[in-house]
Amino acid sequence: MIVVMKSTSSDTDIQHVITFLEKHGLSGHLSQGVERTIIGVLGAVGATGAPGSIGGINPAIGEALEGLPNVENVVRVSKPYKLASREFHPEDTVVEVPSACVEGGVVRIGGSDIVMMAGPCTVETEKQLMTTAAAVRKEGAVILRGGAFKPSTSPYGFRGLGEEGLKLLAKARDEFGMAIITEVMTPTDVAMVCEYADILQIGTRNMQNYMLLDEVGRTRKPVVLKRGMSSTFEEWLLAAEYVLSQGNRNVILCERGIRTFEKTTRNTMDISAIPLIKRLSHLPIISDPSQGTGRRDLVGPMSLASIAAGTDGLLIEVHPNPDEALKDGAQSVTIEQFHDLMPQVHAVAAAIGRKLVTR
Amino acid sequence: MIVVMKSTSSDTDIQHVITFLEKHGLSGHLSQGVERTIIGVLGAVGATGAPGSIGGINPAIGEALEGLPNVENVVRVSKPYKLASREFHPEDTVVEVPSACVEGGVVRIGGSDIVMMAGPCTVETEKQLMTTAAAVRKEGAVILRGGAFKPSTSPYGFRGLGEEGLKLLAKARDEFGMAIITEVMTPTDVAMVCEYADILQIGTRNMQNYMLLDEVGRTRKPVVLKRGMSSTFEEWLLAAEYVLSQGNRNVILCERGIRTFEKTTRNTMDISAIPLIKRLSHLPIISDPSQGTGRRDLVGPMSLASIAAGTDGLLIEVHPNPDEALKDGAQSVTIEQFHDLMPQVHAVAAAIGRKLVTR
Amino acid sequence: MIVVMKSTSSDTDIQHVITFLEKHGLSGHLSQGVERTIIGVLGAVGATGAPGSIGGINPAIGEALEGLPNVENVVRVSKPYKLASREFHPEDTVVEVPSACVEGGVVRIGGSDIVMMAGPCTVETEKQLMTTAAAVRKEGAVILRGGAFKPSTSPYGFRGLGEEGLKLLAKARDEFGMAIITEVMTPTDVAMVCEYADILQIGTRNMQNYMLLDEVGRTRKPVVLKRGMSSTFEEWLLAAEYVLSQGNRNVILCERGIRTFEKTTRNTMDISAIPLIKRLSHLPIISDPSQGTGRRDLVGPMSLASIAAGTDGLLIEVHPNPDEALKDGAQSVTIEQFHDLMPQVHAVAAAIGRKLVTR
Amino acid sequence: MIVVMKSTSSDTDIQHVITFLEKHGLSGHLSQGVERTIIGVLGAVGATGAPGSIGGINPAIGEALEGLPNVENVVRVSKPYKLASREFHPEDTVVEVPSACVEGGVVRIGGSDIVMMAGPCTVETEKQLMTTAAAVRKEGAVILRGGAFKPSTSPYGFRGLGEEGLKLLAKARDEFGMAIITEVMTPTDVAMVCEYADILQIGTRNMQNYMLLDEVGRTRKPVVLKRGMSSTFEEWLLAAEYVLSQGNRNVILCERGIRTFEKTTRNTMDISAIPLIKRLSHLPIISDPSQGTGRRDLVGPMSLASIAAGTDGLLIEVHPNPDEALKDGAQSVTIEQFHDLMPQVHAVAAAIGRKLVTR
């Protein structure tokens, strides 16, 4: 941490900072520049004694420093996340998911192969789910997505079938051998969802629902953590750190678009998140072009762009009859569109030296 | 709802829309313009039969319509919230909070008077809380704020004293007669927090934590609902609608700053939210200039601006020694600053014909 | 245009709108819904008599309507741009640029082939320019980029060599046969820049510099119009409409990243702009991954993602020794990196059935 | 400037930075922390020899440093603006504008008094202008606003009366003794606009039109510099620095709202800009609640909020018949509304110990 003093700061102001640091078990290293003084903050990791002081200097120290007289600003030089950081864990994390439909019975996310996850936005009926599952499995998807608990902006919107939806998903797994990914929205549902799901999904609105992150962190299930719709990379990786710090190392990040001024699309997909997260973190990252754009006609191009940029997987909404979908109809592709997209996905993957795992 | 067709749409496309509407119990009213056709969607409220169809046409219908061939876009003409809407409830809602320190024992939020809520960001120690409570009560605050459960961006940050903090708050209430406002972060804590608190606070990160909204909606405690840091007014009012639709009509909105490109302040306080929410909704709205700016030196001017713009209350972080605050030190004002601010607050309130309730 | 009345509007309010429309040569078509009335605005194109009334109903009419009593909002159903719109011009526009290094002497932008434009951010010295030009031509670039007039956020930053830089660019064209693209910043420079350049570039800060748009619109030079850093697609296409409406149909759009909350990258590249602009407009669109990310290490992945998403060209900053670049060093790739990237670019282009024009 | 190295950086990487700094006439001061090394950059102001090196270390140096191997990031510790900075110019700047209607013939902006500027958005007809000018002067406005050159998002919108409009403004000045503020959009118009106007206005879209800033900087006319609609405070003050560095010290900043996700208002007015700019800079700051909200019904509350927060002036759009305004009708208040607002403006000003200069 570096404390930058105002050019008008006095010796008393500087001493104030030094004293503050010492009170918290840290020390200050002065650098006098032409215009101003900067103070490097030194201290053994965890020296502060404050709650949660592992992971570098307590962030609360920085906030308090900002409030001291004639402090211009405080610059952190260490990243606030450790377990999620590539610096402290240089090798790629590969998350293993049991999936009967592939050789060896395990899908690996974050390795050399790309994984296709597809299925309806929301589980509506057995017929809808089974039809979609059969179709996407046939095309090469190895993980089935489907929402049983749905966040709805309006209290009057459809909120999912709940456990009944989970049971249908389990039935589809039995029939098609695909692993199941589904969303969990609140801590008390985690145990139940774990009974049915192979991957827990944390939605964009819950990226900073810390008690939910703690709870999924206490399981050992793979967790897909979607990016908050206006979050920075640092906040996203700190959310991952919540899960990791509880002992669950099976975290997969998912770029699903951010909110921007543009209203032609529901969200603006940040494809640069894919290569950048790969540099900042060792965790796998997948892409959700359905939520990421909110438009069926953009799912194809954004799937291909994601693969070209290095994504480890795609999460695509497919519906047998999107016109009748109860939720997110506009962003689900048809089975036919999905069928047409797959050869292009294979071709772009091959162009960058990767392949899709399909069996 | 209005469906705008592309200028290249055919009769078949238009018929497709009409058929879709009829399948969902609605009907379409065609208007042929020079360049394009628009279709007004008509139907009895709740006609769709879909889950959650009260509150106008099911929003899922609109999303599905957007996906139909040669539909340019779909325009909603009704607001998706009803219970929160000024249109359907023209009179101001006044929320009553029991508070022993005022005449009659009840503070009214949303009426002609302005209410000052103040106290530490986080409850740290009994001494810190009691000192602050005594000081802010003396200056005229009638509600005491203090966090026992704290959302922290980092898993290594301080997360509050929990129930121990709630007990200290209750002790302060006994001593100073102020009502207590404190945050609740997860559904399973609601019952416990209700035992101690007079007002439940929902934080910015939980504005769309729907199960938490449901749960506080099932109580009858006043709820301060902070604006999500990137949310629109509509999303905010829909979050209020969650609480209202569960039967709890005691909802108070709180402007606490939104995320913008500016990094000199932690958030950008949207003062225009105050008069605008008053037009869109009948619910009271208060202002949090501490979170709203993240800077102690801006709390004063933004408090005054909030009052000039019509706020119903202020929520201000005060700390007896902000340099030593474990959390959010940079944005807490000192007791002395709070003391200096109060006469200005009274003066600006008087200038617009209102007054602070102080006893 | 559709006028949506408040549910509380009276017959007088509705009549007020009708009268207003008639005063402006338009008429209103009433639709009475359960909750509110909507008024469709009908009128011959150009009927208003107001300046600039071609292109549909004068936008000022809509703004004035919004201010009438008990008008809830005004919804435009026609796009405000016509010449730039795919609806009114379904065929792709192909912009031709004279370039001696390719067969036939003409590069086509917006057709089946993808075009590589590369070169230094800023022209610094003859040696730097010639070295870079030789290198990028050898790798297959057919258009040379290089800034002679540079927008600098600080008045103390380097603002380019001016006409001296243009002369160096012309010299490079003579030597390597590549067409030249360079920025023009103010109307009075347009004539001079036209003497040297084959393509005029309008930078992001000038996307709404209307007098500059008018001026380049009066030439017939191809114009690369960069997206404003916070502009919507509609504003961008309206800026293109300025150029087109002056008679210059040779407009090429360029996605160069938008401003978001993320500070790890200089900008967030909006790859979805590529397929979406293709749907909204017939104009070619190219990508600038150097400005779009501000990071050398992301130029490669974002180039490939752009191609996978359907871009018509890439605009890449290359510097023989980026450590010494006077401007934008952090985002320029080295000649070696550019060399390594090209085979991947060819491979991804082939995967989606396109190829780069290189000679 | 501080260079933060990655924790994985080697001695060679650090030496690379040191060598780079020395090549540019600077030196590096190493600080070895537990996890990483940071390098303080030292150097005489202007030591770099690069163009524009006054004003601290050339920003291009920082950009180039960011691109060196294993550099984590580069932190500036000096503000990039000097002439606009409060640190280097602690006393408030007061800009004087000749105005016959006040005692002494000069209005002072940035002193203890608050200044009201009002008038139509756009000059449309002599009658409209004279009626409005008479009305606002009667209410106490001392400066008349009115656009002769209007930026229009669409090429088909109304772009103003041009010099004819300027002549009408001059006529109004002769009649009512008010100073005139009007927008200038391009460098070649500056001389002509200076002939008529007392204050030049630079609009939001031109905040980074550097050649225009240079040109108004070469005059000595007061300049109102509106904030760019997505600009940071630093960018805004750097734009002011352009004008100041050409020798024109009469710069007045104007907060006019920023773009946010909210679409209910045209812009989101950032009231916190007022007290914050006062801390960062010595320049006066005024508020434009008309552009800042885009809604007539918010002009009143946001005017009062601006005053409570410390604004030096208000810029308000008034129209004798806003329903018929050719431009921005929805945001212009009526003469009657303006009349009703003034007593409140006086009251809030008095509450914070200031007053409006009205004669």
Using the Cβ of A230 and the Cβ atoms of chain C, whether some distance falls under 8 Å is answered with yes
Domain that holds residue C50: 2-75
Q: Give the tokens for residue D345.
A: 């403006």
Calpha distance D324→D330 (Å, rounded): 10
Give Rg (Cα) of chain C: 23
User: Which residue of D79, D227, D272 is the best one to mutate when testing the B interface, meaning the one whose CB has the most B CBs within 10 A?
Assistant: D272
pLDDT at A54: 37
pLDDT at D54: 37
Q: Give the tokens for residue C146.
A: 């290089």
In angstroms, the Cα distances linking B189 to A211, B162, B192 are 11, 10, 5
In contact, C302 and C269? CB cutoff 8 Å: yes
pLDDT at A58: 67
In contact, B213 and B202? CB cutoff 8 Å: yes
Residue B47: is its pLDDT beyond 50? no
Name the more confident of A175 and B64.
Answer: A175
Does C309 share its domain with C250? yes
The secondary structure of residue A311, as a DSSP letter, is: -
Q: Give the tokens for residue B25.
A: 């119990």
Using the Cβ of C67 and the Cβ atoms of chain D, whether some distance falls under 8 Å is answered with yes
Give residue-wise pLDDT tens across range A263-287: 899 999 999 999 999 999 999 999 9
Give the minimum alpha-carbon distance from A233 to chain B in angstroms, rounded to a whole number.
Answer: 12
Question: Is the Cβ pair B298, D272 closer than 8 Å?
Answer: yes
Q: Give the tokens for residue C224.
A: 């690369």
pLDDT at D57: 63
Ranges A316-330, B2-16, D218-232, most confident: D218-232
Largest CA distance in chain D: 75
A87 vs D contacts (CB less than 8 Å): 6-8
Residue C45: is its pLDDT beyond 50? no
Ranges A70-84, B23-37, D148-162, D243-257, most confident: D243-257
Evaluate whether residue A82 is within a structural domain. Answer: no
ipTM of the complex: 0.92
Query: What is the domain count for chain D?
Result: 2
pLDDT at D45: 44
Give the minimum alpha-carbon distance from C4 to chain D in angstroms, rounded to a whole number.
Answer: 14
Q: DSSP E strands: which ranges in chain D?
A: 2-5, 27-32, 37-42, 71-75, 95-98, 106-109, 113-119, 143-145, 179-183, 199-202, 223-226, 251-255, 285-287, 313-317, 355-357
Tell me the residues of chain A between 2 and 61 that have a Cβ less than 8 Å away from chain B.
Answer: 20, 23, 50-56, 58-60
Q: Which amino acid is it at D114?
A: I
C58 vs D contacts (CB less than 8 Å): 156-158
Helix segments in chain A, DSSP class H: 11-23, 59-66, 126-139, 163-176, 190-196, 210-218, 233-245, 273-280, 289-293, 296-309, 335-351
Residue A266, domain CATH? 3.20.20.70
Does D164 share its domain with D307? yes
**Beta pairing class for A355-357 and B2-5:** unpaired
Tell me the residues of chain B between 259 and 298 that have a Cβ less than 8 Å away from chain A.
Answer: 259, 296
Give residue-wise pLDDT tens across range B77-101: 778 899 999 988 999 999 999 999 9
User: Which residue of D153, D225, D324 is the best one to mutate when testing the C interface, meaning the one whose CB has the most C CBs within 10 A?
Assistant: D153
pLDDT at C61: 80
Q: At which of C40, C75, C110 does a domain end?
A: C75
C328 vs D contacts (CB less than 8 Å): 60, 63
Name the more confident of D329 and A176.
Answer: A176
Calpha distance C250→C109 (Å, rounded): 10
HSE toward the beta carbon, residue B163, CA cutoff 13 A: 7
Q: At which of D75, D110, D129 does a domain end?
A: D75
Going by pLDDT thresholds of 50, 70 and 90, the confidence category of residue A308 is very high
Does D41 share its domain with D175? no
Give residue-wise pLDDT tens across range D123-172: 999 999 999 999 999 999 999 999 999 999 999 888 999 999 999 999 99
Residue A78: is its pLDDT beyond 50? yes
In angstroms, the Cα distances linking C238 to B5, B223, C85, D207 are 21, 45, 10, 20
Does A61 share its domain with A109? no
Per the prediction, chain D carries an average pLDDT of 91
pLDDT at D253: 98
Calpha distance A311→C305 (Å, rounded): 11
Measure CB to CB from residue D308 to each of B231, B270, B348 and give the nearest one: B348
Name the more confident of B137 and A6.
Answer: B137
Q: At which of C46, C75, C104 does a domain end?
A: C75
Does B26 share its domain with B139? no
pLDDT at A47: 39
**Beta pairing class for A27-32 and C106-109:** unpaired
Does D70 share its domain with D112? no
Does C203 share its domain with C325? yes
In contact, D197 and D221? CB cutoff 8 Å: yes
Evaluate whether residue C86 is within a structural domain. Answer: no
Q: What three-state secondary structure class fits A332?
A: coil
Give the minimum alpha-carbon distance from A348 to chain C in angstroms, rounded to a whole number.
Answer: 5
Calpha distance B315→B331 (Å, rounded): 12
Residue D317: is its pLDDT beyond 70? yes
Evaluate whether residue A186 is within a structural domain. Answer: yes
Residue B18, domain CATH? 3.30.70.1140
Does C142 share its domain with C267? yes
Least confident of A66-75, A179-188, B152-161, B193-202: A66-75
Does C148 share its domain with C19? no
pLDDT at D47: 39
Evaluate whether residue B259 is within a structural domain. Answer: yes
Going by pLDDT thresholds of 50, 70 and 90, the confidence category of residue B134 is very high
Residue C71: is its pLDDT beyond 70? yes
Calpha distance C296→C319 (Å, rounded): 11
Does A69 share its domain with A101? no
For the stretch D45-58, what's the b/e string if a residue is b when 16 or more beta carbons lie within 10 angstroms of its beta carbon? ebebebebbebbbb
pLDDT at D326: 66
pLDDT at C38: 83
Calpha distance A208→B152 (Å, rounded): 9
Evaluate whether residue D138 is within a structural domain. Answer: yes
Evaluate whether residue B129 is within a structural domain. Answer: yes
Q: Give the tokens for residue C22.
A: 């008639």
Evaluate whether residue D83 is within a structural domain. Answer: no
- Region B157-165 average pLDDT: 94
The secondary structure of residue D305, as a DSSP letter, is: H
Residue D20: is its pLDDT beyond 80? yes
Give residue-wise pLDDT tens across range A150-200: 999 999 888 999 999 999 999 999 999 999 999 999 999 999 999 999 999
In contact, C158 and D63? CB cutoff 8 Å: no
Going by pLDDT thresholds of 50, 70 and 90, the confidence category of residue C195 is very high
Does B114 share its domain with B35? no
pLDDT at D75: 81
| Percent above pLDDT 70 for chain A | 93
Going by pLDDT thresholds of 50, 70 and 90, the confidence category of residue A6 is confident
Least confident of A191-195, A252-256, C320-324: C320-324
pLDDT at D166: 98
Going by pLDDT thresholds of 50, 70 and 90, the confidence category of residue A24 is confident
**Subunits with at least 3 CB pairs below 8 A relative to chain C?**
A, B, D
Q: Give, rounded to a whole angstrom, the gap between the first and last alpha carbons of chain C.
A: 49
User: DSSP labels for A100-166?
Assistant: TTSGGGEEEESSSEEEEEEE-SB---HHHHHHHHHHHHHHT--EEE-BSS---SSTTS----THHHH
Give residue-wise pLDDT tens across range C118-165: 999 999 999 999 999 999 999 999 999 999 999 999 998 889 999 999
Cβ contacts of D239 within 8 Å, gap of 6 or more: D207, D208, D213, D225, D228, D231
Q: Which amino acid is it at A42?
A: L
Evaluate whether residue A86 is within a structural domain. Answer: no
Per the prediction, chain A carries an average pLDDT of 91
Question: Is the Cβ pair B87, C38 closer than 8 Å?
Answer: no
Going by pLDDT thresholds of 50, 70 and 90, the confidence category of residue D58 is low
pLDDT at D223: 98
Does C169 share its domain with C71? no
